[in-house]
Structure 1
């Protein structure tokens, strides 16, 4: 048997050995090995006509039905993904023969699992148009919460390819080798001559976000040696090189890569291979490598990717490793996930500003896992992120023992109107349970969304049981993410912005990001920490920006009293002032507007605006006294004098243009203080 990156090919099996392998799979009830059997089904077509083959087929049907009894169709769909249409039809005929006479005339009376299995086999046999109708006819009288999600998953898996309303945009190009990527046939002893233009295409597509794979009928070692000689081996992912039919291999390859056929291009010089793949993988685009249209199409597709400046090869390398290990150890979905060491962390509010472009890209590129089927106008997500009084923007970052997957999920929820605008994920985390983890995280924040009408596609059944959720406020977790997404030298941090949830906006607009750190709840400083001593666990660089309004709200003090206690406030504030003065700090102090209309002091849910409006001038007066007593330590800026009425969301929150202007004030203050330090040293 041949082993290829953990992917079992077995192209040297005779029919008896193949039968033994298939029987062993049924005996062990090992559904994870079914795709490997189905990949070779056409090569051993005669086996299925024998009594032995029929018994194996019956056993396979039992395994599929058993897996569907759990209510999760994903495992069965994955297992059957490489099934040749003729064999699927043969299995369907066996299943129908086992049903009571006339059962298909009344599908609403069939058992859920039997109906699902019938629909899957119908779709796999090529009767895609009948799948949704069959499932819809079987819906009456069933429990929708149980029946709906797997039915929708199966219907989507076999939905006829839609009319292409926009230009074809590939995510994957699958290349043949002989007379496609090079001139000559390795198996005939030819010395291959590289087609340089095609090699340039492979490299260029990689640079612009489209990955390339190989499906070639060749000896693996010889083909790899040739590609290494051309310096191309590392340019390809998921190489499938063996003397087996290409239709089933490519069908399985696309499933393993968690892509849709509609986003895949297959390039081959052999008309039989092209027709076989087109028939086996509905929705895929194929092109004859010998035609004049081939290079013209590749040129056109490459031009359409010019705006993408990111390689995704490393992302798919991780997926390739995961697939290889799972195939090699023959683990079930749940076993594999539990063994993978999956970790996820979620960012919210202003922490997401530095990921704005990636968030928009994820929403606009995601199709398979875009559950709201929504898109976003480029450049507008920043407004949602900064409008913290109306929107919750939550992003998921994921990694496991195989590597780091990055920002792979986003939810945008308008909590005042209870509207879910976006819920989209990267296909790299398909079947990992990240969607469920995101739903749970939103529910913890008071936004239960499982039954949101905004979902245009059903959520997968996978739970997040295998995922360890880590807090982004944990210094090591945050450092892990930023090391991948926005590397920086933390030893150079010289400025900290302590303005609660708006801190990240000031950082985002700053010209001093390289030396700045910023707060974001629950990763923040607040005055009560001066009493508890919790401030000692935090890092305070020499230069600090403090928005006093952060501590003008009752709930900040709720550990001690239901509302602000003035004596306690003074005690904590005096301790902070002493720390700053004796620690050699320079502090830029922002005071919130006072004397506004009552509406401007409706600061948060449960707030008593009458009390807030009274407290603001009292507490502002204290800080004015601090600045007067410590002119070399505290610099005071009165936002009530700097901001116009239309720049206020309320007394504590400001519109993006105002946030940008305040960031400029911080930058100017920092420049002035640093310049003064230089003069002091010179003197």
Structure 2
């Protein structure tokens, strides 16, 4: 759902899965020995990467031989979670999507063989399929053209690759998970968005579905208007650790009323769910509201994918019990009416002081004075 009507844009592809033989490269590796990479295909790979679209591989080949050829061609670094082996390609694509925590509708598959595209389409009907001859033209398609381009999107592959190294180290760690998280030396920063950062905020509202409390997309123009409104706070959350930056991982949109703060939107990246980002932000906000003597009201709209966000709200103490101070808010916002009110719930919290997080350092200025 968007805060602007009339938009008819196809959902952006988040990950493109390539076949290799006669698709990414020209020729069949096990038959021809040497295969070539067309310049226009190389340009497409590099361009999609620069837009923040992840790329992977699903190929029926010998893994070591195929990966060595990708390295020799100078493009191995562009592919995450390669699936090179002899199993069904639908299962390979499914594993890639699951590991990335992407909806199937955010994944695309390109292959020269109609039978392979059909097999993937049968088992994963939401995955978009493309014939090999379309490879050079993919950057020109709207679904491969994100609405925004940010610093984070241009380094998305590197951030995911760092994330896989974190996961590998986490899998080898012994003892409670909380102890491992402390070893990451995580620093979460919350700050007011600047004009330059708005594209990162808009991108988060566009790309995040599992951890978006309302499913609403706020456009750049709408966010700029809110920046100019003294009652609104548009807050950007970033996270770094010893492996490097996670980039912008969260956005909060808060409107302050007398004796009440209205959390219109909370969205966090799915990449940081396991680090408790949503819970940390809700606890910080509750603590700040308690210090200001303000009641908290949070918008929530259930979607097919954001059950985890509802759980985060409930664990933070939000419930369905309204307060008298929210009556004016309901009248003003028209809860339950119109496209922005459809399916909307208003969750409430009488905040109390909360302890500081124990697994990361939180840097959040006293924004609400």
Q: Are 2:264 and 1:372 aligned?
A: no
Gaps of 5+ in 2: 1-6, 317-356
Q: CA deviation at 1:269?
A: 2.0
Whether the 8 Å CA contact 1:348–1:392 is kept in 2: the answer is no
Q: CA deviation at 1:240?
A: 2.2
Identify if the C-alpha distance between structure 1 residues 240 and 358 changes in structure 2 by more than 3 Å, giving closer, same or farther: same
Identify if the C-alpha distance between structure 1 residues 412 and 213 changes in structure 2 by more than 3 Å, giving closer, same or farther: same
Q: Which residue of 2 aligns with 1:205?
A: 48
Within the candidate set 7, 14, 17, 1:174 is matched to 17
Q: Which residue of 2 aligns with 1:357?
A: 199
Gaps of 5+ in 1: 1-163, 474-520, 523-603, 606-683
Partner-residue secondary structure (3-state), 2:300: coil
Q: Which residue of 2 aligns with 1:111?
A: none
1:349-380 per-residue CA deviation (whole Å, 9 max, x = no partner) reads 4x655533322332233333221111223134
Q: How does 1:323-338 map to 2 (within 5 A)?
A: 323-326=167-170, 329=172, 334=177, 338=181
Identify if the C-alpha distance between structure 1 residues 330 and 216 changes in structure 2 by more than 3 Å, giving closer, same or farther: farther
Partner-residue secondary structure (3-state), 1:421: strand
Whether the 8 Å CA contact 2:17–2:110 is kept in 1: the answer is yes
Q: Are 2:81 and 1:235 aligned?
A: no
1:299-358 per-residue CA deviation (whole Å, 9 max, x = no partner) reads 32487348636422212212232344445x387994696366262434244x65553332
CA distance in 1: counterparts of 2:45 and 2:176, whole angstroms: 33
More strand by share: 2
Whether the 8 Å CA contact 1:176–1:268 is kept in 2: the answer is yes
Whether the 8 Å CA contact 1:256–1:323 is kept in 2: the answer is no
Q: Which residue of 2 aligns with 1:401?
A: 242
Q: Are 2:312 and 1:468 aligned?
A: no
Q: Which residue of 1 aligns with 2:158?
A: 314
Partner-residue secondary structure (3-state), 1:287: strand
Within the candidate set 268, 277, 280, 2:111 is matched to 268
Identify if the C-alpha distance between structure 1 residues 203 and 285 changes in structure 2 by more than 3 Å, giving closer, same or farther: same
Partner-residue secondary structure (3-state), 2:12: coil
CA distance in 2: counterparts of 1:240 and 1:332, whole angstroms: 31
Q: CA deviation at 1:466?
A: 6.7
Whether the 8 Å CA contact 2:186–2:242 is kept in 1: the answer is no
CA distance in 1: counterparts of 2:25 and 2:179, whole angstroms: 38
Partner-residue secondary structure (3-state), 2:218: coil
Q: How does 1:275-314 map to 2 (within 5 A)?
A: 275-289=118-132, 292-293=133-134, 295-301=136-142, 304-305=145-146, 308=149, 310-311=153-154, 312-314=156-158
CA distance in 2: counterparts of 1:405 and 1:332, whole angstroms: 25
Q: CA deviation at 1:442?
A: 0.9
Partner-residue secondary structure (3-state), 2:254: strand
Q: Which has the higher contact order (CA 8 A, sep 6+)?
A: 2
Q: Which residue of 1 aligns with 2:254?
A: 413
Root-mean-square deviation over aligned CA pairs: 3.4
Identify if the C-alpha distance between structure 1 residues 295 and 393 changes in structure 2 by more than 3 Å, giving closer, same or farther: closer
Q: Are 2:335 and 1:454 aligned?
A: no
Identify if the C-alpha distance between structure 1 residues 276 and 333 changes in structure 2 by more than 3 Å, giving closer, same or farther: farther
Identify if the C-alpha distance between structure 1 residues 303 and 288 changes in structure 2 by more than 3 Å, giving closer, same or farther: closer
Structure showing greater Rg: 1
Whether the 8 Å CA contact 2:212–2:267 is kept in 1: the answer is yes
More helix by share: 1
Identify if the C-alpha distance between structure 1 residues 445 and 259 changes in structure 2 by more than 3 Å, giving closer, same or farther: same
CA distance in 2: counterparts of 1:339 and 1:186, whole angstroms: 46
What TM-score do the two structures reach when normalised by structure 2? 0.71
CA distance in 2: counterparts of 1:374 and 1:287, whole angstroms: 30
What TM-score do the two structures reach when normalised by structure 1? 0.41
Q: Which residue of 1 aligns with 2:269?
A: 426
Q: CA deviation at 1:244?
A: 2.7
Q: How does 1:90-109 map to 2 (within 5 A)?
A: none
Q: Are 2:279 and 1:436 aligned?
A: yes
